[in-house]
Structure 1
Amino acid sequence: MSKALQQHLARRKQGVAAGIYSVCSAHPWVIRAAAEQAVEDGSLLLVEATSNQVNQFGGYTGMRPAAFRDFVLEIVKTAGLEPAKLVLGGDHLGPNPWRKQPAVEAMALAETMVAEYVAAGFTKIHLDASMACGDDATHPSDEVVAQRAARLCVAAEAARGAGDAPVYVIGTEVPVPGGATHAVHELPATSTAAAEHTLAVHKWVFEEQLSGVWERVIALVVQPGVEFDHDAVVDYDAAKASELVGWLQALPEAIVFEAHSTDYQRPQAYVELVRDGFAILKVGPALTFAMREALEALEDIESQLAGDSRSGLSAAIEETMLREPAEWLPYYASPAAEQKLLRRYSYSDRVRYYWGRPEIAAAVERLVANLAEVNIRESMLSRYLPLQYVRLRAGRISGDSVSLIVDHVRDVLREYAAACRA
């Protein structure tokens, strides 16, 4: 489906404000929500796995690329989405999972990973060699990043099958996955000079080393001036990006900008971002954040309806995260009382790494089972999940707990979808 994606974005050269959002999550309810949204819109669905989530060693999901492909395909088929509408992408594919190792070793592992993604049918590949490796004395220059990206691309091209040729995303100014780890109040957009140099260097290296591939480079990752930290969001300011946007519009190539960390923006910001050429919008933590909101709302309902047979979901989450702090402690450098709030409410939503833990998964299953045995009053739903209450009353969604959760996740996706319709 890379050809369909490339054609969709190429419409921008004809003055059509085409865009697409990229769902960066491995949770089945999030993927179900995205598939249902795509069915309703009749749109392509772009789902991406990151190098930390899914790689040749399983990543933190325990899935290699082929297993993730099959996992997503099963969910989207059940949701009624044609597999031909699904585009699978690999996000931050490069040495990041092994960046503490020397560059030679980290890059060798990254090449194996990229090849495995492409061989499994992933056709939208973000080549991310922007980070320093263990023996890099300084942050790598654009020239070094471009050379490393080309090496990754060579591995990807060698792994191609008979289907669509992969399309590529490049860039050097790539935000940290998952949101900022420190307070961010203002953020400049990438300078035009930096974007121009990055694109020129990559084009020169790719055309020298990879015949015919440059025409399949569809996007450049830049910073539009958006970000989120634990409890604040830097909103898009079109004026700050105006020079960069003008430069993009003057390019002869049908290249768009890819914007990372777009979670939690106001709805109008997504419209403006797509209009201005930030046509691939990454979203991840905001989706699992919404899922957690719905689960906690349903747990409150459970506490009033289920008697003594309660799931204990919040307690299971807290106990598991305290017992296994590796996925959140490096990011929440705060006093203990503040850490407790961040574990539950941080925009970076580090709890998303824990939903597959046995104790938490069992608690979620108990919550769903308990709520299936009781009658959730409409008046209670109005208090806890008011938008889902409205849709339930209108007969647009079912009243089972999973459908309520999925629809609450779709509240986030609806904002992206509205901005990307063209």
Structure 2
Amino acid sequence: MLIRVAVAPSGFKESLSAQSAAEAIATGVRRVLPDAEIDLIPLVDGGEGTAEAMAAASGGRLVRLRATGPTGEPVPTHFALLGDGETAVVEMAAVAGLSLVPRELRDPGATTTRGVGELIRAALDTGARRILVGCGDSGTSDGGAGALQALGARLLDADGRELPHGGRELHRLDRIDAAGLDARLAATSIRVACNPFNVLCGERGVARVFGPQKGATPAQVEQLAGNLEHWAAVLTRDLRVRTDLRTGTGTGASGGLGAGLAALGAELLPRFEVLLDDMDLDDRLARADLVITAEGALDHQTVRGKVPAEVARRAKRYGRPVLALAGTIGEGARQVYSAGVDAYGSILPAPMSLTEALGRGGEFLTDAAERSLRMILIGTRLSSRESRQTAVSVSGTQRPSSVR
């Protein structure tokens, strides 16, 4: 019998792109089911690999250049021009992502989104009329301040001096001079693909939720949280923003980049609403007998807008079984069952250093897919045996003779 397997993973941060993860899983599946029909559906969530994947899917191309990286030094980067010739995709992770911040320099109070603004300006220079900004995998927490500076806004302290980069400096912000903003922004549609659960401020604000992952100490987390509150207030006042920049949907995306771009009139949208429109994902999941998804970590955040939860939710519309594989299993991972995941597991075979785990991600993912498929087949065979035994038992039961 032909078995159809849909492989729909996201990338593994600093280890595997979504495409590489899909190929690794497929290799493991073929070790067990060499004749299986495998549909590779690498999924992007706005983070690493988004621009490249969307360029390939649309028949577009990558534009390569250098821009300011998260630590303030120039880095090689890129954005995509899609096949329609009018849409550019700016992937913030390609210029301000965590993977671009050396471990010894991971301080979200010091990193900047300036390069994101530089990529937007470069996209405008190509004549793009629509810009899609993918948020995810960020190494910053400056509220998008650096991006606004690159686009022409002046962030001034009480003495009229321009603020240096980094979220740590935002408490000194006195006013924003928007006179120099790039005039082309007013005639350009900017859509931000983001996690709608991420908000700028409050107890679930981006500094408190993601600051520690980016290297912030508890004291720095509270400093950044206060600075972003101040940033939201000044943005709202000086740019005459009518929407809620503190707790509005997606305002905390990529260390608050969502809020900064929203203040310029960008539309913040759930990332899968933007990124999966042209992938025919639902029909491809419906045709599968088994769906395998994956990401770097499964934990309580997975159900809050991550790829495995979205894949599982859609697959369950058609009653398809879903297996999720992950590099690490964290607190709250069991919540993925409520999203439609039927089983999950870690790909790591033994305790090891992070460096080794990242370097051998493809190998471990392939082996984990193979192990999981073999376990699934054991269950399938046992189920089939039980069904046969039940059928034999029923067929062998003698009916009582009729009373005459």
TM-score scaled by length of structure 2: 0.33
Bigger share in strand:
2
What TM-score, normalized by structure 1, do the two folds share?
Answer: 0.32
Larger Rg computed on CA atoms: 2
